[in-house]
Amino acid sequence: MQIGVCPFCGVGCEIGFENGKIHRVNGVSSDHKLCIKGLFAHKFIDAPDRLKGAYISKDFLENINENIRKKIEVGNKVIFQEKEFFEISYKDAAFIVAEKIKEIKIKYSEKAFAFIGGARTNCESVYLFQKFAREIIKTNNIDNCARVCHSPSLKGLYEVFGTGASSISYKDLENTEVILIIGANPFEAHPVIFKRILEAKKKKDIKIITVDIVPTKTTKYSDKEILIPPLFNLPFLRLISLFIYENKLFDKKFLEKHTNNFKDYFEILKREKETLIKFFKKYEPSLISEAREISKLISTKKTCFIWGLGVTEHIFGSETVMEIAYLSLLTNNILRKYTGVMPLRGQNNVQGACDMGALPNYLPGYAPLSKEKEGLKTPEIIKAIKENKIKFLWIMGEDLLHSHADIDYIDQALDNLELLVVNDIFPVKIVKKAHIVFGIKSTLEKDGIYINAERRVHLGKAFIENKNLLDDWEVVKLVENYLKGSFKYKTNKEIWHEVENKVDIFKGITYELLEKNMLNSPQWPLKEHIFEDGFFTKDKKANFIPFSIKEVLNYIETSYKNLKEDEFILTTVRFYEHYNICSQTERIENLKRYNEKINEILISKKYMKKLKKREVYLERNGKKVGPFKIKFKEHFPENIVVAYMHHKEINKLFSLDKGDKYTKTYEFKFLPIRLIEK
């Protein structure tokens, strides 16, 4: 049986392949489990609209330099996203890209270039992608889809611990005493992790506490379900910290030995106590006793903290993650066995993409760049394109016209590019704006390394041979060879050897080690515990960075004050059967019956009499999306509408300008909208 890695979420399940079928295997991450998506992960590969090579758009072909035109051969015409393309060889496509790079660089300088993507491909490809950007083009304008989801987790954890990754493994979750889940629904979004937790719960006394804004399938299986109003994450966590401080439940010896500035943090708690308590007494008094109860529990029990996009996709996402980190420090639930923190990563290699340095402010292994050298984040890249400052964009496996905010604005901005290059496996929406398209091997058709939410470094092997397509790194190499010829790599293994030698966190994690441990791959770094030698800060201590809660409380009060009588709060979520933009899952025959679910919204049963037509549009500032079928829910909070992020148009409603103040991650979890009946 061949062993590989599931191509979907950040759980990173090991999968087996034999006789044309995917099988469950007893891997260290999958634990002989798979969700419905993983079981059919090979079924999209032969979809009829698969990109089968390289392509050039008709409009671009008609306008390229005559000298370039003479040197290439053009094949059959094809239609993608109602736009005409012509088939072209990989070599000719790479030659055109290289020639346009030379032209744009002379015309505008290296500041006119940007690169986005890598969370869906292997580490070798991401590493070469960022190396091409930095060493060949000389730009740090590189980013990946963590910008849409867990960049605030990276920022918040990095500020406190010196690294932005999970501190624990899935086995820790199975052996801890308390799991505090905030802003996440792992039952649907990370099902194998949650199934492992539930199985462990049957054997051990594990308390699950879920904090969310609506009831979910995860809350159904929790020992304690705490519903908070939208935007209340950070104040609620601060309230728990306040009670830990007030009742002296913190581990003082631990704080003195392993942290900086905890006394300054305590001063803030003391100084702002009345303001915080007054806020909760006014708006949600019941949460005071809930916070007090949690403070006692996590101070006396081994606790793991896990969270999702319900924490990060907010204005104060980074600070909320910092507050979670502070709770782990106050209660010494970070260095002890079976305790720690874990952001539930969304993509199969988004952790790896960040580790490889596909970020504007970090080199591989999270070596920070100075402020002056930092590149542009994706929302800044988009604005720079609109302002004609960026003229070249290369996208690797990321659809800006689906997964990002304000897709109408992005659609218009992309028209200003002189060259848009897209690597993908299907003609997704962004392809309609592309000048050059490279069809790429899927995860199951290529060897490569993928890093999951627990920092586990998996080597996946190709299940299905595809001699007609290239891997992403092979395309990058082709283009580079027309420019400089310094990329001599012949295999994935050669690229990883360079990573392993240059990036400290991967020292000792060789291809040979991974090949011998396909079902029991290691976490980076090769240590018993990530922080066994201290935190990743200069003095090996974790940092409390005290900040006032007043700005947060003012923002919440203003947001609710500005909410009009006929407005609802829109939040977006995933559901179990589909994955992100659905470019793969919607092409799997076994999952097509769930396609219509994408067009549903969830709302309280209270509105049944008011919304009699059962179909509505969502409207914001004159923009209308839909129609959506209403699914009325029992015990659902009033004034909240839940829509699915899988919907192709939903992100038209969200703003490019509104997001986390440090990372620019969009505020997908709080948007005032109106419902307009069909």
Average pLDDT along the chain, 678 residues, taken 10 residues at a time: 95 96 97 96 95 97 91 94 97 98 97 95 98 98 96 98 98 98 98 98 96 96 97 98 98 97 98 98 98 98 98 98 98 97 95 98 97 98 98 97 97 98 97 98 97 98 95 98 97 98 97 97 97 97 97 97 96 95 94 95 94 92 96 95 96 96 97 94
Would the CATH topology of 18-149+348-439+447-516 be identical to that of 562-677?
A: no
What phi and psi values does residue 157 have, to the nearest 5 degrees? Answer: -70, -35
**Any idea where the domains of the chain sit in the sequence?**
18-149+348-439+447-516, 151-344, 562-677
pTM: 0.97
Residue 23 in tokens: 């099988």
Angle CA 198–218–352, to nearest 5:
80
CA distance 530 to 532: 6
pLDDT at 507: 98
CATH number of 18-149+348-439+447-516: 3.40.50.740
Residue 500 in tokens: 């392993």
DSSP class per residue in 339-372: -EEEE---BTTHHHHHHTT-SSSEETTTEEPPTT
CB atoms inside a 10 Å sphere around CB 73: 10
Question: Which helix (H) or strand (E) segment is 114 a member of?
Answer: strand 113-117
How far is CA 375 from its chain centroid?
A: 19
Question: Which helix (H) or strand (E) segment is 97 a member of?
Answer: helix 90-108
CA distance 430 to 397: 10
Task: Name residue 423's beta-bridge partners.
Answer: 396, 438
What pairing do the DSSP bridges indicate for beta strands 623-633 and 615-620?
antiparallel
Domain 151-344, what fold?
Dimethylsulfoxide Reductase; domain 2 (3.40.228)
CA distance 360 to 376: 6
CB atoms inside a 10 Å sphere around CB 405: 25
Residue 526 in tokens: 């090769």
Task: Name residue 114's beta-bridge partners.
Answer: 393
* Sign of the CA dihedral running 357, 492, 101, 405: negative
| Cβ–Cβ < 8 Å for 666, 602 | no
Domain 562-677 grouped into CATH 3.30.365.10: no
pLDDT at 678: 82
pLDDT at 613: 85
Strands laid side by side in the 2-5 sheet:
2-5, 14-18, 21-24
